[in-house]
Amino acid sequence: MNKFLIIILTALSTSNALADQPKHWQLGFQNAASETMRDIVNFHDNLLLPIIIAISVFVLFLMIYACIRFRASANPVPSKRTHNVAVEVLWTLIPCLILIVMAVPSFKILYKQDTIPKAEVTVKAVGYQWYWGYEYPDENIIFESYMIEDKDLKENQPRLLAVDNELVVPVNKVVKVLITANDVLHAWALPAFGVKRDAVPGRINETWFKAEKIGTYYGQCSELCGIKHAFMPITVRVVSEDDYNDWLMDAKVKFAKEVTDEDQFKKLASK
């Protein structure tokens, strides 16, 4: 019995280490796999959540107190008071102070997200109706990533999240992501890394992440983009540096970008 329990626990721990994705009845965040996501989770759990709970409890107390204290049976003659200066000053200043307390660490996290360190890997993500296209500009690799249909799913591939061609990146390396769209608005979102950026036609947005754990991580388009919005998932596979180099060698053959006359013209024009 103990041996069977150990096997189950090992399998569960392994699955969590190898992949992070939405789970049934999940209420909280996905497990953080980057420093940015840890900052977001700490900000939510250690600051926002206690403040929100305290405010909710206080407002509930005031509502219950007002219902009991100022009920008609206890106050046959209603009060004609129109205002209270002290109360109005307090309920203006206190919320302002609360907002300042929340804003300062929030701005720090936003600034950190927008300050991209020196990139070690650069990837371009392009949103289409309804799939993602990826390009490694420095490696001359380009490919498309489509959701795997239910009938083609293999064991351990999550429904509506698995794709045919995964985005592969090395662990503990700064990955810069250039994000745009070819048709309508999309959004490239990966919860475990704390990443979400709009993909806007004619514009390139930038974001970054540094994955700290080897595994497979799932996200989805997070901007309503049409009838198949729910069917353009994002799958990022984080591997060791050696495995990444091996993948690059294969990908340069499998996904080699064709050099067109337009590419040649742009190259010459840039000189």
The pLDDT tens digits for 30-63 are: 889 999 999 999 999 999 999 999 999 999 999 9
Task: Choose one of 93, 114, 135: the last residue of a domain.
Answer: 114
130, 106: one domain: no
92, 163: one domain: no
Is residue 137 within 8 Å of residue 124, measured between CB atoms? yes
**Domain assignment of residue 106, yes or no:** yes
Low-confidence ranges of the chain (pLDDT < 70): 1-19, 257-271
What residue type is assigned to position 57 of the chain? V
**Domain assignment of residue 137, yes or no:** yes
Q: Residue 242: in which H helix or E strand, if any?
A: helix 241-254
For residue range 60-91, list pLDDT tens digits in order. Answer: 999 999 899 888 888 888 778 888 899 899 99
231, 131: one domain: yes
Instruction: Write the secondary structure of 118-135 as one string of H (helix), E (strand) and C (coil).
Output: CCCEEEEEEEECCEEEEE
What is the extent of the structural domain holding 69? 35-75+82-114
Q: Residue 72 CB: number of other CB atoms within 10 A?
A: 7
Would you state the structure tokens that stand for residue 177, as one six-digit string?
A: 């992501």
**Domain assignment of residue 16, yes or no:** no
Q: Can you give the pLDDT at residue 15?
A: 41
Q: Can you give the pLDDT at residue 250?
A: 93
What residue type is assigned to position 236 of the chain? V
Q: Which residues contact 231 (CB under 8 A, 6 or more apart)?
A: 130, 147, 160
Would you state the structure tokens that stand for residue 163, as one six-digit string?
A: 């794709």
Q: What angle do CA 55, 61, 64 make, to 5 degrees?
A: 140
Q: Can you give the pLDDT at residue 84?
A: 87
**Domain assignment of residue 28, yes or no:** no
Q: Can you give the pLDDT at residue 16?
A: 43
53, 171: one domain: no
> In a 3-state reduction of DSSP, which class is residue 89?
helix
- The total domain count for the chain is 2
Q: Can you give the pLDDT at residue 258?
A: 54
154, 46: one domain: no
**Domain assignment of residue 270, yes or no:** no
